[in-house]
Every structure is written in structure tokens, then in C-alpha cells.
Amino acid sequence: MKKRVLIFLALMLVVSTALVGCQNSATPADGDGVKVGLVLAGGLGDRSFYDSSHEGVEQAKKDFGIEYKVYECRNDSSLLNDQLVQASQYASIVAVVGFEFYDVVQEIAKEFPDVYYIYVDNEIEGIDNLITISYAENEGSFLAGALAAMLTTETSIEGIDEGKVIGMVGGVDIPVIRNFQAGYEAGAKYIDPEVEVEVLFAGDFEDPAKGKENATVLYSRGADIVFQVAGKTGEGVFEAAAELGKFAIGVDSDQRYINPDVIVASMVKKVGKSIYDTIENIQKGNVDKGKVVYYGLNQEGVELGYGTDDMVQFATEDMKAKIEDIKAKIISGEIEVPKGK
């Protein structure tokens, strides 16, 4: 009898230990087992907007233990709905990247009410499971314009001519890109009202050849520095700058590493950070359902990146100090940055 009781107790101990183990695996800490879908209107490899979003989910994987899959539409509008549905069937959180999803994401979010959607670069309210993230790219671009205006007078730098002309190549002419433009132009004029700002739109975010063609036109018009706001198309701007002995400003990620001899700085738009933050906040239950989350200078959502210390620095310490002063004035409200229309 005693032997049977001991065997019974031993079995109960094994079962209870197993149950504890099951309970722990069903309630994972730090997001373990949470699935995230990253849906891109374009594709990875742009070293800019889309790659930044990927860095955000990759960091969430490292820090929170999430699983994720990437769904690329490669600029094929016929894939937007299908890829977003596939991601919604796979994941409990779906990050959606690309202005092209504006209508589609609103429809799909209603079909999958138990899935959280993080939609960057837009402002939509009223759908509980849809969180949109809007960036003050005009504020970051104000800093880029100010730096370009300061550099265009530095004729001691080979490649900087006597005229005060800078340029910008935009991808598609849409509100978010015009917001970049508004800030860039205002920042340049803040430094020197006589600076001319030439702007062209390539009509594409995935065509470096068009970017190079447009940048070449701007350099021929006297621009010393061209701000690329065109995703992968902007790689053509860097190529034109290198071939013509001119300069460029990168966008979205710190792109100086691509060619530090011609890229003087980058207007960093922290898409990855915002996606990472929102994944974390969803896990903590710390989100305002159906609201817009804003990322500007004050939220460290945009900034000017100068690359690493081992790179040649075109921006002097005085210029960087001036940029920091302007940044503080924007945050305090002393400088009001215009928005694109």
C-alpha cells in the first residue's frame, strides 16, 4: 500500500511539473511566439524606407522573441490585397509599409478585427485595430535644407560652385514627398533667402536610372547638392553625384556608407524605430486604438545623420552646432516648419 502511494505521488509530481511547463509556454514572456507580418508595397534592398522597416521587426525579434515574415509586392498593385490577406492569416500584428495600401488596409483591417495593423506614413482614425504612424519629415528636411544651404557657399570644397543652388529629386509627387519638399525649401531659405531650390519628381520609387537622369538635370542647372527623396530611385542620384563630382543628401536611413565621398548627410526617418515601438506597445497593451501616432524631432522620429566618425565630414562642427540650435528652436516652437500641400 505504501509503495502504491509513493508511486501515485511521484506521478502527480511529474504531471504537475508538466502542467507548469505548458502554462509557461502558453503565456510567453517578452513576445515569444508572437507573429508579425511585414507587408511592403515595394521590396527589400532599397537601403532606405523599406529596409528601415525591416530593421524594426528584426530588432523586435532579437529583443522580444517575435517571429515574422516579409511579404513583398514589388510595386505590383495586383498583389496588395493578396499579400495583406496572407499576412493577416499568419500574424497577430501586421506592419504595412507604402502609401499604396491606403484603401486596402482599411478594408482588410475590418475583415480581421483580431489583428493589429501598424500602417506607416499616413493618418487614419476610427478603426480600432488600425494604428497609423505619421512622421514630421518636414522637420527633418528643414535641417537637411539648412545644411545644404550652408554647404553651397563653401566654395573651398571641390565641386561647390559660386552659385547658391541646391536641388531635390522626389519619387512620386504625393503629399508625403511634398512634405519633405516644404521643409527642405524652408530650411534652406532660413539660412539664406537667396538660395535657389530646384525640384524634380522622377515618378517612381524603384528606378535608379530615372533618379540619375533627374539628378543630372539638376546638377546641370547649377545645383551643388541634391536631396534624394525617392527610395531606390535615389541611388541614381548618388551615381550622378559621383560621376559629376557633386554632392547628395540621403533619406530615411543613414545612407552615408553607400558613398561617403559624395553623400554629405542623410535625413533619417526612423520607420524601423516606430514599428519596433508600436510592436512593444501592443504587447504591453499601451496603445490608443484607432489613433495616429506622431514622430517628429521631439519624439526622435527624424534626425540628420552624418555617418560614422571614420568618414570624411563635410559638415563642420560649427555647422552641426547650428543645426542643433535650429532643432531646439523647432522643438520649442520658435521656428514653425511649413507642411507640404
Q: Taking a C-beta distance cutoff of 8 angstroms, is the pair 259, 37 a contact?
A: no
- Residue 341: its pLDDT value, please? 82
Q: What is the pLDDT of residues 225-248, one digit of tens each?
A: 999 999 999 999 999 999 999 999
pTM value is: 0.86
Q: Taking a C-beta distance cutoff of 8 angstroms, is the pair 255, 49 a contact?
A: no
Return mean pLDDT, the chain. Answer: 91
Q: What is the pLDDT of residues 92-134, one digit of tens each?
A: 999 999 999 999 999 999 999 999 999 999 999 999 999 999 9
Distance CA 312, CA 307 (A): 9
Cell of 254: 543613414
Question: Which of 286, 283, 289 lies closest to 27 in space, CA to CA?
Answer: 283
List, in order of start, the domains of the chain with CATH numbers.
29-136+272-295 (3.40.50.2300), 137-269+302-332 (3.40.50.2300)
